[in-house]
């Protein structure tokens, strides 16, 4: 199936809509408890149970409308399903809270595996989104992204283990996307400037 374009607003809703619904649902049900088949579930567990199919529906809708599924969205959705189901099955919110940690560790491992082969898995995933034209630029950005993913994994562990669920949900909903956006914007600018400086230095050296 060939790729088809959709509006930026619709793309945003498909990618981040489920997360926003999870946030609103949590705020609405966080102080509630529900007894289902004799088992008591906190509001967080119920919202997680609703979030899992919503993510699958969003991914399916994205595939139906565009003809493709973003690689990162597919990996994230699979982990949402796995850890969301574990959360509900064991009635333990810790499974869902550790999910971002494992996602970032997995991304870091994939990027490192590519770097060991002198390749950029980041380029494979984001070639149309980032402006790098050289292999060196992609490799530099990939190395930086590895450390960024590891840092986010550590931060997520610190927050869910040492702060309230309210703080963790806010961090997951808004903190992670904002930090990711800031990182990619800032590091893209840094890498491009570094590439330009190296090119200028090489030209000066050749003239001498």
The 3-class SS string of 128-171 reads CCCCCCCHHHHHHHHHHHHHHHHHHHHHHHHHHHHCCHHHHHHH
| Res 40: pLDDT | 92
Q: 43 near 103, Cβ under 8 Å?
A: no
Q: Minimal CA–CA distance to 11: which of 52, 81, 79, 58?
A: 58
pLDDT digits (tens, 9 = 90+) for 111-134: 999 999 988 888 777 766 676 677
Which residues are within 8 A (CB) of 14 and not within 5 positions of it... i.e. 6 or more apart? 58, 59, 61, 62, 65
Q: How far apart are CA 77 and CA 63, in angstroms?
A: 13
Q: How far apart are CA 8 and CA 129, in angstroms?
A: 13
Helices (H), 38-70: 43-66
pLDDT digits (tens, 9 = 90+) for 155-205: 999 999 999 999 999 999 999 999 999 999 998 888 888 776 565 444 444
State the pTM of this model: 0.82
Cα distances (Å, whole numbers) of residue 69 to 73, 104, 125, 132, 183: 7, 19, 11, 23, 24
Helix (H) or strand (E) holding 118: none
Q: How far apart are CA 31 and CA 164, in angstroms?
A: 13
pLDDT digits (tens, 9 = 90+) for 70-109: 777 788 889 899 999 999 999 999 999 999 999 999 999 9
Whether residue 38 has pLDDT greater than 50: yes
Tracing tokens 């980032």 back to the chain, one arrives at: 130
Running DSSP on this structure, what letter comes out for residue 67? S
Q: How many CB atoms lie within 10 A of CB 160?
A: 23
């Amino acid at each position: 199936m060939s790729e088809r374009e959709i509006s930026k607003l619709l793309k945003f809703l498909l990618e981040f809509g489920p997360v926003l619904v999870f946030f609103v649902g949590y705020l609405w049900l966080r102080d509630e408890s529900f007894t289902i088949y004799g088992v008591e579930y906190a509001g967080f567990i119920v919202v997680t149970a609703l979030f899992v199919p919503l993510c699958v529906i969003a991914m399916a809708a994205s595939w139906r409308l565009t003809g493709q599924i973003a690689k990162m969205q597919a990996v994230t959705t699979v982990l949402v399903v796995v850890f969301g189901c574990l959360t509900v099955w064991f009635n333990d919110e810790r499974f869902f809270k550790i999910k971002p940690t494992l996602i970032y560790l997995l991304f870091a491992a994939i990027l490192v595996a590519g770097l060991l082969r002198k390749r950029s898995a980041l380029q494979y995933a984001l070639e149309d989104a980032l402006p790098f034209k050289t292999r060196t630029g992609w490799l530099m950005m990939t190395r930086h992204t590895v450390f960024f993913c590891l840092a986010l994994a550590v931060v997520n562990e610190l927050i869910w283990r040492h702060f309230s669920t309210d703080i963790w949900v806010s961090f997951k909903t808004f903190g992670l996307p904002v930090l990711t956006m800031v990182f990619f914007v800032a590091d893209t600018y840094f890498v491009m400037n570094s590439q330009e400086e190296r090119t200028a230095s090489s030209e000066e050296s050749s003239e001498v």
